């Protein structure tokens, strides 16, 4: 549904209006290449706890326009009725959530370095028998209050917190915003699908798992998907 890390301060000028809805005019911090940016989002000791294969995967520095490809399959998808509703509503932002409940379905993730050097273009392709594949596109940009932001369609973006948990690399949403140029309007939590957690863990035989979980503030876990990939030769 696909960098060396030392702690770095993020300089952000932000003004907000009290309440759930805030308007932000910010100056994005200047970041180095993707390698330094990924590694800079974790404490050094946390980065060193990650398996070497995970470190290499996220340290790889792609030249502008160069891509890294990962192939595998979606092992399982669990989704509630509320999860289905949010997957349909999210179509206005480019359908970033899985539209089908997939199991044992071929999948491909392509990561491409943007020409400006501070962003990565992520393309996830989910094949479906007898149907056109679902293609999910997003941009990970090394900017914003947490140092990492993921953007999808219709100007929707979410700040991501990065952590090491049980030797896995975890990306967790912290806030949603609607962006237009340098203007950013914070979206209240109840108008979002909820917390999005993505876990990247090294598995056996050169594979890694990619687990997506969405937890709604009222309805709890509404989506859970597990996929396994390997580096394409």
> Is 14 inside any structural domain?
no
Q: Is residue 212 part of a domain?
A: yes
pLDDT of residue 22: 38
- The span from the CA of 214 to the CA of 149, in Å, is 17
Q: What is the pLDDT of residue 122?
A: 97
* Among 89, 93, 80, CA closest to 224: 80
Q: What local confidence, expressed as pLDDT, does residue 117 receive?
A: 61
pLDDT at 36: 55
Residue 216: give the domain boundaries: 23-231
Domain-located, residue 151: yes
pLDDT at residue 181, rounded to an integer: 86
| Phi-psi map region of 93: left, alpha, beta (phi>0 left; psi -120 to 50 alpha) | alpha
How many domains are there within the chain? 1
**Segments in the chain below pLDDT 50:** 1-32
Of all residues in the chain, what percent are helix, strand and coil, respectively (each to 5)? 15, 45, 40
Please tell me the total number of residues recorded for the chain in this structure.
233
174 occurs within a structural domain = yes
Cα dist from 67 to 63, 79, 110, 171, whole Å: 8, 31, 6, 21
Report DSSP letters for 115-149, one per residue: TTSSEEEEEEEEEETTEEEEEEEEEEES-STTS-E
Kindly report, residue by residue over 39-49, the tens digit of the pLDDT.
Answer: 899 999 999 99
Confidence at residue 34, expressed as pLDDT on a 0 to 100 scale: 53
Q: What is the DSSP letter of 50?
A: S
User: Is the residue at 99 inside a domain?
Assistant: yes
- Confirm whether 8 is domain-assigned: no
Mean pLDDT rounded to a whole number for the chain: 86
* CATH number of the domain residue 93 falls in: 2.40.128.20
Q: Quote the pLDDT of residue 50.
A: 97
Tokens for 73?
């399959």
Residue 4 lies in a domain: no
pLDDT digits (tens, 9 = 90+) for 109-122: 999 999 876 799 99
């Amino acid at each position: 549904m696909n960098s060396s890390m030392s702690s770095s301060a993020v300089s952000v000028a932000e003004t907000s209006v009290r309440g759930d809805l805030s308007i932000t005019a910010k100056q994005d911090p200047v970041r180095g290449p993707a390698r330094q940016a990924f590694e800079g989002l974790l404490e050094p000791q946390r980065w060193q706890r990650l398996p070497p294969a995970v470190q290499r995967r996220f340290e790889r520095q792609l030249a502008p326009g160069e891509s890294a490809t990962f192939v595998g399959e979606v092992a399982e998808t669990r989704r509630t009725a509320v999860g289905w509703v949010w997957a349909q509503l999210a179509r206005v932002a480019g359908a970033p959530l899985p539209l089908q409940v997939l199991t044992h379905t071929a999948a491909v993730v392509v990561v491409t370095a943007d020409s400006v050097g501070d962003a990565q273009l992520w393309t996830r392709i989910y094949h479906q028998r007898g149907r056109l594949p679902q293609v999910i596109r997003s941009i990970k940009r090394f900017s914003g209050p947490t140092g990492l932001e993921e953007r999808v369609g219709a100007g929707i973006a979410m700040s991501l917190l990065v952590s090491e948990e049980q030797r896995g690399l975890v990306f967790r949403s912290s806030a949603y915003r609607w962006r237009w140029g340098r203007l950013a309007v914070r979206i209240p939590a109840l108008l979002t699908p909820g917390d999005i957690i993505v876990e990247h863990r090294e598995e056996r035989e050169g594979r890694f798992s990619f687990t997506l979980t969405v937890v709604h503030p009222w309805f709890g876990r509404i989506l859970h998907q597990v996929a396994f990939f390997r580096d394409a030769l």
